[in-house]
Amino acid sequence: LATAPVGAPPHSVDGFVKEFLHELNTNQGVPLSMSSVNDQYMALASTVRNYLMARWLETNRKVHENKPKTIGYLSAEYLLGRQLGNALLATDLSDIAEKGLALCGIDIATLRAQEVEPGLGNGGLGRLAACFIDSLATMDVPCVGYGIRYEYGIFRQTFVDGRQVEQPDTWLSLGSPWEFPHPEASVQVDFGGHTERYIGEDGRERVRWVPAWNVLGVPYNYMVPGYLNGRVNTLRLWSAQATKAFDLQIFNSGDYAQAVRAQTFAENISKVLYPEDSTPQGKELRLQQQYFFVACSLRDFIDHSLEDGFDLHNLPERITFQLNDTHPVIAVPELMRILIDEYDFEWDEAWDVTSRCFAYTCHTLLPEALEVWPTDLLGRLLPRHLELIYQINDHFLAEVREAFPGDDLRAHHMSIISHGQGVRMAFLATVAGTKVNGVAELHSQLLRDKVLPDFSALWPEKFTNVTNGVTPRRFVRLSNPKLSELINDTIGNGWVTDLERLKELEPYADDPEFRAQFAEIKAWNKHRIADLLRARDGIDLPDGHLVDVMVKRLHEYKRQSLKLLHIVSLYEQVLSGKIAASEVMPRTVVFGSKAAPGYAMAKETIHLINKVAATINADPILEGRLKIAFPANYNVTLAEKLIPAADLSEQISLAGMEASGTGNMKFALNGALTIGTDDGANVEIRKLVGDKHFFLFGMSEPEVAELGAQGYNPHSYYDANPQLKATLDLISSGVFSNGDRHLFDMVVENLKNQDRFMALADFDSYVAAQAKVEERYADQDSWMRSAILNMARTGYFSSDRSMRDYLQRIWHTTPML
């Protein structure tokens, strides 16, 4: 009896209500009549959790018993989104919960709205991690996601006078019903100090790391439920706490205040997510975060997931650690340190094990986004790890010299330690990983050819591609309930776990009845977002507009400025009488975007978008035919409502710059057409949906490279193109800035004189493609046909397929248990 797992409450409205009221009374300590919305939300979350609990215990029991190979997904970010809806879906409780709560006089929508999403990530990379763990659970693959439980996630964005102002994200303040803290399973992590050489009992020279300080990592477990399959995997996020040593210091030292400060210092490590998503700044606290969660995770797996006496020579048979970008790469020297210093492994044995335990995913091509840690900083914080990195580099460079005798320059280029700069984490990951993958076909090719060419020459078989994907549970089934119903009624519900089956919808693109239903759902989704934005932001979305959406982090390479130039160009043409307002296709452009707080150009671009919006939205000359909506604080929750309402998806990065994009996939799956460059996964989307159903524009990556090599001069485009000139001049005229002609100099002058991402070069082509959009949209029937085909042909972009590819090409394991 003691080993029998708890049973789930009965799967019925009665059973649910009983459990809910029990949770309300015993957990929140209130009767229904006196409960607040938050009490009710907390009780509802606990109730759903209780249904998942038996499955979680059972999953863990089976893992313990069968000892399957596990995927340890190491990611500094998980952008999870709200948990409640997903948990209800995974347990098939959505209807039961709605009915049960109604019996208690509660509208479930009110409780859903109460949840604050855990925004523990910046953007694409963090959301990808969340999709991947969802897919692995749904595919019955043993996986533990390891990361950091930031006390403050991505900042809450507000606009003051059109400018971005950041507020702390206090996501934990009303309680966090989805997490299970396990202080008893805390792990100690050491930092600083120095190393010493000594002779061991066996007469061999050994190294001892004498750290200067340490912290405690407290694990918080989250359930990761598979979709209706009874599996519940674990996401383990680490929170930093002061160790007993700190407490003792407090006790012993006369300087109590100083000792308390030391405690705060320890807890700072997991305090806040760094809000940069492309430019690492070599901050010491960031390296502390990285080592902190990685050290906790390796310790946890080795000490608690492996049976006593497990021979670590066999570690690769039990785990592959997938490195989500370079952020967790310090795990490589950490595992070497454990094996050599703690388990007495010889170098070659330790390297053999380590190099079979890791695989590395690269998520960028931007040179400035590649992490390089200054050696002095790394040596100060992790002296033993720096030594091991030097040693790894020595062995590696010996291999390079052997493969390319006499080619000293090559060895110099490939060195993990670059003199003057520091430790190139992408090189370390590439040397250590069994596999290195990019996140879309084009990106993987450019990774081989441009970022790591010497490495792909040395180890061609190491490089592979896995095109990203998104979870159909959250981004279709949950976010687009009406469309899901239509799909279910048409082809059954198998698509939720086998998204390629959307192909069966292709013939319905020509069925007038189906098209009408599809169009009606699009309209319904537009009304839903209009209602939300009215309540959330006081924004009005007019009826009958083309909904044109650009949502993603604000970055120059993504070219929000190009979208803005298109809008301003339309406005300019009406102002100057080149076209009549009645010739403007009724359109609302929706932006959603956060800028890194230290990224001045990005923040100025946000300011400009808001100012243009204020002017255009208020100008009667446009007869309400052109609107800009820029709701603040774009996040997963807003994405779930916004994406299903979109007609047009803006994916307009300079070719060769966007590694993959994943928003692009969500839009296509929800029946938006893409206007996009030949970049990232756009390439694959276009190939699948067909040219007729995709608006391609702009230079190709080779054309970009050639223009760059020739020497790009944006001013020549400004001089040669009267419409472009008029557009930029309108911004400088002061119409958007109360007559101030210089307010937006930073943005305008940059475009005219630098324009690193060649927005001006692609302007004409973009505007022409937008004209085609208008032409196509005028024929609603043909547009809806294309929209349906976009949905029907993009089932490939399920993260389930991505996970199958990882299993085959990288992890070499099959779903089991």
Query: Nearest CA to 133 among 72, 68, 59, 85?
Result: 72
Quote the least distance from Cβ 312 to ligand 26M, whole Å.
31
By the criterion CB under 6 A, which residues form the site for ligand 26M?
122-125, 128, 274, 276-278, 280, 286, 363-364, 369, 439, 468, 658-662, 680
Instruction: For residues 542 and 426, give the distance between their C-alpha atoms in angstroms, rounded to a whole number.
Output: 47
Quote the least distance from Cβ 466 to ligand 26M, whole Å.
10
Instruction: For residues 495 and 508, give the distance between their C-alpha atoms in angstroms, rounded to a whole number.
Output: 16
Extract the tokens encoding 346.
């010889």
Angle CA 423–218–88, to nearest 5: 105
Compute CA distances 668 → 652, 661, 689, 803, whole Å: 15, 12, 9, 20
Instruction: For residues 635 and 340, give the distance between their C-alpha atoms in angstroms, rounded to a whole number.
Output: 44
Quote the least distance from Cβ 276 to ligand 26M, whole Å.
4
Quote the least distance from Cβ 437 to ligand 26M, whole Å.
10
Instruction: For residues 151 and 435, give the distance between their C-alpha atoms in angstroms, rounded to a whole number.
Output: 33
Q: Which is nearer to ligand 26M, 50 or 278 (CB)?
A: 278
Helix, strand, coil percentages (3-state) for the chain, rounded to 5, are 55, 15, 30
Q: Which is nearer to ligand 26M, 428 or 509 (CB)?
A: 428
Task: Give yes or no for a contact between 212 and 191, defined as CB atoms under 8 angstroms apart.
Answer: yes
Instruction: For residues 763 and 751, give the distance between their C-alpha atoms in angstroms, rounded to a whole number.
Output: 11
Q: Where do we find the tokens 């390796």?
A: 298
Q: Would you give the end-to-end CA distance of the chain in angstroms? A: 24
Instruction: For residues 772 and 739, give the distance between their C-alpha atoms in angstroms, rounded to a whole number.
Output: 34
Amino acid at position 269, single letter: I
- Residues identified as active-site: 363, 552-553, 558, 662, 666
Instruction: For residues 323 and 332, give the distance between their C-alpha atoms in angstroms, rounded to a whole number.
Output: 10
Q: Which is nearer to ligand 26M, 242 or 642 (CB)?
A: 642
Q: Which is nearer to ligand 26M, 176 or 664 (CB)?
A: 664
Quote the least distance from Cβ 621 to ligand 26M, whole Å.
38
Report DSSP letters for 252-305, one per residue: H-S-HHHHHHHHHHHHGGGTB----SS-----HHHHHHHHHHHHHHHHHIIIII
Report DSSP letters for 483-537, one per residue: HHHHHHHHH-SGGGT-GGGGGGGGGGGG-HHHHHHHHHHHHHHHHHHHHHHHHHH
Q: Which is nearer to ligand 26M, 83 or 682 (CB)?
A: 682
Quote the least distance from Cβ 280 to ligand 26M, whole Å.
3
Quote the least distance from Cβ 84 to ligand 26M, whole Å.
25
Residue nearest to ligand 26M (CB): 124
Our measurement of the distance from residue 772's CA atom to the centroid of its chain's CA atoms, rounded to an integer in Å, reads 32
Query: Nearest CA to 169 among 111, 117, 115?
Result: 117
Q: Which is nearer to ligand 26M, 164 or 468 (CB)?
A: 468
Three-state SS for 814?
A: coil
Q: Where do we find the tokens 């305090």?
A: 271
Q: Which is nearer to ligand 26M, 45 or 425 (CB)?
A: 425
Q: Which is nearer to ligand 26M, 295 or 681 (CB)?
A: 681
Q: Which is nearer to ligand 26M, 164 or 437 (CB)?
A: 437
Which residues lie across from 234 on neighbouring strands?
A: 144, 223
Quote the least distance from Cβ 626 to ligand 26M, whole Å.
29
Three-state SS for 654?
A: coil
Q: Where do we find the tokens 């929140």?
A: 28
Q: Say which DSSP state 2 is in.
A: T
Instruction: For residues 27 and 669, give the distance between their C-alpha atoms in angstroms, rounded to a whole number.
Output: 40
Q: Which is nearer to ligand 26M, 128 or 431 (CB)?
A: 128
Quote the least distance from Cβ 197 to ligand 26M, whole Å.
34
Extract the tokens encoding 26.
């015993």
Burial environment of residue 251 by CB neighbours within 10 A (0 to 12, 13 to 18, 19 or more) = exposed
Residue 138, by phi and psi: left (phi above 0), alpha (psi -120 to 50) or beta?
Answer: alpha
What phi and psi values does residue 543 have, to the nearest 5 degrees?
Answer: -70, 155
Quote the least distance from Cβ 476 to ligand 26M, whole Å.
18
Quote the least distance from Cβ 257 to ligand 26M, whole Å.
31
Quote the least distance from Cβ 681 to ligand 26M, whole Å.
7
Query: Nearest CA to 64 among 410, 306, 241?
Result: 306
Q: Which is nearer to ligand 26M, 663 or 671 (CB)?
A: 663
Q: Which is nearer to ligand 26M, 567 or 659 (CB)?
A: 659
Report DSSP letters for 387-439, one per residue: HHHHHHHHHHHHHHHHHSTT-HHHHHHH-SEETTTEEEHHHHHHHH-S-EEES
Task: Give yes or no for a contact between 120 and 274, defined as CB atoms under 8 angstroms apart.
Answer: no
What is the pairing mode between strands 319-324 and 358-361?
A: parallel
Q: Which is nearer to ligand 26M, 364 or 560 (CB)?
A: 364
Quote the least distance from Cβ 286 to ligand 26M, whole Å.
5
Instruction: For residues 634 and 630, give the distance between their C-alpha atoms in angstroms, rounded to a whole number.
Output: 9
Q: Which helix (H) or strand (E) holds 324?
A: strand 319-324
Report DSSP letters for 111-133, one per residue: HHHHPPP-EES-SHHHHHHHHHH
